[in-house]
């Protein structure tokens, strides 16, 4: 009997994909699959009643992105009618809803469905999924060949660890779980936190609250709000130009993105750009905060970028100096029925407590993921065995989007999520068109070597310094950081051509690893509309055979005027 399959070479077998999460990452994966794949099924489980992920959940006063609006989109899907330089959460949510509708993605999405578990069936080569329909309470059972976790890193609010919060008799709000039904006008508010959400909340609520006590435990490097010549909002003339002149929007996006991609060496210790940034920000912040005693409280003594820079923090600093605002330069020691106690023992009374205390950034899955004697929840509680933001050691047919070592705060992030979706699709394509593959998993040795390299590379980054930050999640893990220690452009090049050799492929069925060769008939011959002489041409326009040549073509090398290169070796002093 001929051991070859009866199908053609690279026959596209049916593949079933389950994705958890319908935010930027999950929607991007859905789009990529619809654009390029056939003979597949995709189900996206989303715990919220609407898509959008963190942008659906975060609706606090003043909530907005902290990068230019026109660049907080997919690289291939611009939005021309953003109303402000920094888009509100509502506008970003509308963008994602429009994107899903335009590309017919909702057919794949089950909202109000909370995934509660996933277990690997080795014999069948599939994942068995359980979820709960939050509307009906029904238990949903599903299965898939490929499981993708796109839950992101901003999806589980972190409440203050100080005891007694449950005893507070007034409303308790969290920036990521805002209750619009709570009236804050005319109230005495306690705002805990001074990070990315707090710097947006305070300027938005200060004009309407009676008073605000703001707990500032750690200073942050801040920037003035980006704006046009006429303010933070785009003018009617701007909006008209964007609506009628696509080239104007493209030029704005290109200018912004080139700027965002030009500052990475600022995050490297001892570089000229790091020192210049520190001198500039310190000077600008001290112009705003003139009291030397207050400067000591609000101007950081750690490198710029050790904690995430707050691009629109000046309105926050100005608000701290208003008459109805009292900054408390302390942490919260405990909560009481009527307020909270600062580290020095002082009791602070309030009507409402707002916790702008961020998220649980541990990356530990919110549900058990069982495979080959492992539970990923338990494994990652002790050590994250990730890879390139997308891989999980020894976990079959599973990928992450926005996982550990994603470049989350050192350059444009949306395009990095796109690169991750491309990476995952490359593996889905390999699985689909090589029908002998039973399963595939990241080799433990590859994950170990990767993490070892990341630890060494992180030593040169400013976020390896001793400031509390979201880059370094748990010191007991023995890992210096879970943020990519390179630029976004560096990350794109790293993911562009997947290293299949870092994965173990298990084969089954007739033909095994060569089942993909099929019956000797090409896909071209079975495609009635294909040209059987497609390779005859009058010039060589084929794919470049070296990685360098492919990179130069993709990045349009030679099209821009020469610029100064900020190399790692370019330090601030000759002996640094």
In the chain, domain spans: 15-49+111-155+361-507, 165-355
Cα torsion 16, 20, 25, 27: sign:
positive
Q: How far is CA 446 from CA 33, 381, 404, 464, in A?
A: 27, 20, 15, 23
pLDDT at 231: 60
Cα–Cα dist 393/441, whole Å = 7
Which residue in 482, 447, 477 sits closest to 461, CA to CA?
A: 482
The SS3 assignment for 374 reads strand
Q: Which helix (H) or strand (E) holds 281?
A: helix 272-288
- CATH class entry, domain 15-49+111-155+361-507: alpha beta
Look up tokens 């709960």; give the residue. Answer: 132
Please state which of the four CATH numbers 2.40.30.70, 3.30.420.40, 3.50.50.60, 3.40.50.300 is assigned to the domain occupying 165-355: 3.50.50.60
3-state secondary structure labels for all residues of 83-132: CECCCEHHHHHHHHHHHHHHCCCHHHEECCEEEEEEEEECCCCEEEEEEE
Distance of CA 148 to the CA centre of its chain: 15
Cβ atoms < 10 Å from Cβ of 380: 20
Cα torsion 286, 291, 292, 297: sign:
negative
Cα–Cα dist 397/372, whole Å = 12
Cα–Cα dist 191/366, whole Å = 28
CB-based contact 29:424 (threshold 8 Å): yes
CB-based contact 363:200 (threshold 8 Å): no
CB-based contact 267:465 (threshold 8 Å): no
pLDDT at 154: 75
Cα–Cα dist 197/175, whole Å = 7
Which residue in 331, 315, 361, 347 sits closest to 481, CA to CA?
A: 361
pLDDT at 149: 97
Q: How far is CA 301 from CA 194, 218, 415, 465, 471, in A?
A: 16, 10, 32, 11, 18
Q: How far is CA 432 from CA 193, 425, 443, 525, in A?
A: 48, 10, 20, 20
Q: What is the DSSP code string of 337-366?
A: SSEEEETTS-EEE-SEEEE---B------S
Q: Which helix (H) or strand (E) holds 286?
A: helix 272-288
pLDDT at 218: 92
Q: How far is CA 495 from CA 79, 94, 406, 568, in A?
A: 26, 30, 11, 21
3-state secondary structure labels for all residues of 123-171: CCCEEEEEEEECCCCCEEEEEECEEEECCCCCCCECCCCCCCHHHCCCC
Burial 318-338 (b: 16+ CB within 10 A, else e): ebbeeeebebbbbbbbbbeee
Q: What is the CA radius of gyration of the chain?
A: 26
Q: 243: Cβ–Cβ under 8 A, 6 or more apart, which residues?
A: 80, 81
Burial 55-77 (b: 16+ CB within 10 A, else e): bbbbbbbbbbbbbbbbbbbbeee
Q: What is the DSSP code string of 407-465?
A: --SSS--HHHHHHHHHHHHHHHHHHHH-TTEEEEEE-HHHHHHHHHHHHHHHTTBGGGS
Which residue in 95, 83, 317 sits closest to 214, CA to CA?
A: 317
pLDDT at 236: 94
CB-based contact 212:324 (threshold 8 Å): yes
**Intervals of the chain under pLDDT 70:** 1-5, 227-231, 468-480, 565-576
pLDDT at 157: 87
Burial 291-316 (b: 16+ CB within 10 A, else e): eeebeeebbbebbbbbbbbbbbbbbb
Which residue in 361, 434, 427, 377 sits closest to 399, CA to CA?
A: 427
pLDDT at 229: 55
CB-based contact 369:118 (threshold 8 Å): yes
3-state secondary structure labels for all residues of 451-501: HHHHHHHHCCEHHHCCCCCCCCCCHHHCCCCCECCCCHHHHHHHHHCCCHH
């Amino acid at each position: 009997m001929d051991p070859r399959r009866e199908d053609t070479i690279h026959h596209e077998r049916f593949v079933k994909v389950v994705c958890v999460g319908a935010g930027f990452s999950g929607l991007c994966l859905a789009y990529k699959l619809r654009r390029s794949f056939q003979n597949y099924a995709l189900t996206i489980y989303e715990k919220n009643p609407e898509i959008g992920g963190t942008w659906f959940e975060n609706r606090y006063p003043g909530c907005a992105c902290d990068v230019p609006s026109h660049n907080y989109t997919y690289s291939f899907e611009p939005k021309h009618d953003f109303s402000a330089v920094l888009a509100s959460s509502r506008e970003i949510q509308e963008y994602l809803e429009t994107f899903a509708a335009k590309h017919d993605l909702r057919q794949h999405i089950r909202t109000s469905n909370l995934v509660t578990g996933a277990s690997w069936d080795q014999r069948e080569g599939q994942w068995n999924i359980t979820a709960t329909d939050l509307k009906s309470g029904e238990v949903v059972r599903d299965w898939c060949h490929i499981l993708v976790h796109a839950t992101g890193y901003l999806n589980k609010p972190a409440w203050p660890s100080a005891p007694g919060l449950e005893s507070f008799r007034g409303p308790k709000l969290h920036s990521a779980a805002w209750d619009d039904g709570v009236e804050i006008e005319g109230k005495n508010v306690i705002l805990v936190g001074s990070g990315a959400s707090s710097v947006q909340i305070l300027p938005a609520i200060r004009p309407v609250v009676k008073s605000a006590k703001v707990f500032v435990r750690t200073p942050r490097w801040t920037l003035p709000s980006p704006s046009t010549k006429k303010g933070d909002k785009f003018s009617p003339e701007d909006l008209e130009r964007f609506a009628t002149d696509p080239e104007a929007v493209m030029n704005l996006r290109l200018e912004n993105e080139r700027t965002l991609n030009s500052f990475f060496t600022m995050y490297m210790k001892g570089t000229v750009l790091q020192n210049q940034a520190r001198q500039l920000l310190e000077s600008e912040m001290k112009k705003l905060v003139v009291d030397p005693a207050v400067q000591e409280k609000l101007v950081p003594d750690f490198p710029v970028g050790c904690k995430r820079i707050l691009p629109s923090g000046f309105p926050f600093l100005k608000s701290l100096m208003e008459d109805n605002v009292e900054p408390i330069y302390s942490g919260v020691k405990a909560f009481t029925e009527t307020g909270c106690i600062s580290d020095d023992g002082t009791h602070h009374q309030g009507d409402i407590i707002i916790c702008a205390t961020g998220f649980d950034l541990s990356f530990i899955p919110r549900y058990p993921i069982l495979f080959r004697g492992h539970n990923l929840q338990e494994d990652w509680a002790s050590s994250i065995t990730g890879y390139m933001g997308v891989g999980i050691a020894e976990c079959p047919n599973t990928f992450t989007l926005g996982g550990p070592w994603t470049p989350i705060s050192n350059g444009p992030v949306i395009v990095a999520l796109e690169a991750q979706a491309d990476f995952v699709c490359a593996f889905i394509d390999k699985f689909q068109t090589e029908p002998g593959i039973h399963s595939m998993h990241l080799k433990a040795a590859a994950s170990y070597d990767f993490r070892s390299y990341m630890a060494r590379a992180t030593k040169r980054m400013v976020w390896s310094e001793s400031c509390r930050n979201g880059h370094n999640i748990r010191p007991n893990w023995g890992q210096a950081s879970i943020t990519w220690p390179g630029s976004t452009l560096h990350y794109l090049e790293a993911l562009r051509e997947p290293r299949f050799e870092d994965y173990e492929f298990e084969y089954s069925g007739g033909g095994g690893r060569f089942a993909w060769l099929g019956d000797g008939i090409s896909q071209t011959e079975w495609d009635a509309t294909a040209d059987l002489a497609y390779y005859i041409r009058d010039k060589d326009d084929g794919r470049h055979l070296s990685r360098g040549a492919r990179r130069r073509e993709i990045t349009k090398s030679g099209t821009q005027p020469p610029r100064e290169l900020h190399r790692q070796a370019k330090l601030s002093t000759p002996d640094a």
